[in-house]
């Protein structure tokens, strides 16, 4: 059986989605779960930029290392390469649904459906806020990753 392929999507691919990528990879390694994980943005505005320094700082304070990569935009082949494409907000999900084609095989979902106990549907963008906003985003991402891992284990 091949490793599940997960793509996280936010706006610019410098805060939320690379954080989710790093958190999921960390927990997958700890539990011995083989996954292929990536992240992308719906916008090209941050293409080529590294993950935000504040996102890296908050992630490192909790023992996570964000991927050493550059921001990229969602590509057409992502819709068939990945099994699940997880949107950080309802707006991202709608954008992905508009870009999907008849050939799309990935399941398009809002990431926070994996953490219904948190009572929110979106991971807010911390970009315009302070470190507390990055902490809040990471709290939600950790909860979503825990739920996603439970779902992946249940699916076999």
Residue 133 is among the residues annotated as catalytic for this protein: no
Confidence bin at 40 (pLDDT 50/70/90): very high
Residue 153 is among the residues annotated as catalytic for this protein: no
60 to 27, 30, 88, 93, 133: CA distances (angstroms): 14, 16, 21, 28, 15
CATH number of the domain at 125, please. 3.40.50.2300
Residues 6 or more apart in contact with residue 150 via CB below 8 angstroms: 114
Number of domains in the chain: 1
| Range of the structural domain that residue 119 is part of | 5-155
Annotated catalytic residue: which of 16, 56, 72, 84? Answer: 16
Residue 16 is among the residues annotated as catalytic for this protein: yes
E-strand stretches of the chain: 5-10, 36-41, 84-87, 107-110
pLDDT at 156: 78
Confidence bin at 1 (pLDDT 50/70/90): confident
């Amino acid at each position: 059986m091949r490793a599940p392929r997960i793509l996280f999507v936010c706006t610019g691919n410098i805060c939320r989605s690379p954080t989710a990528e790093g958190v999921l990879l960390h927990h997958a390694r700890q539990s011995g779960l083989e996954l292929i994980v990536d992240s992308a943005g719906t916008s090209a505005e941050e293409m080529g930029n590294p993950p935000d320094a504040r996102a890296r700082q908050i992630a490192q304070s909790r023992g996570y290392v964000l991927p050493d990569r550059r921001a990229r935009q969602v590509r057409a082949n992502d819709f068939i390469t990945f099994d699940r494409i997880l949107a950080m907000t309802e707006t991202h999900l709608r954008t992905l649904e508009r870009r999907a084609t008849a050939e799309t095989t990935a399941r398009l979902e809002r990431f926070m459906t994996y953490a219904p106990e948190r009572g929110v549907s979106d991971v807010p963008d911390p970009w315009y806020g302070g470190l507390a906003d990055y902490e809040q985003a990471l709290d939600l991402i950790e909860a979503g990753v825990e739920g996603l891992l439970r779902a992946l284990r249940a699916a076999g």
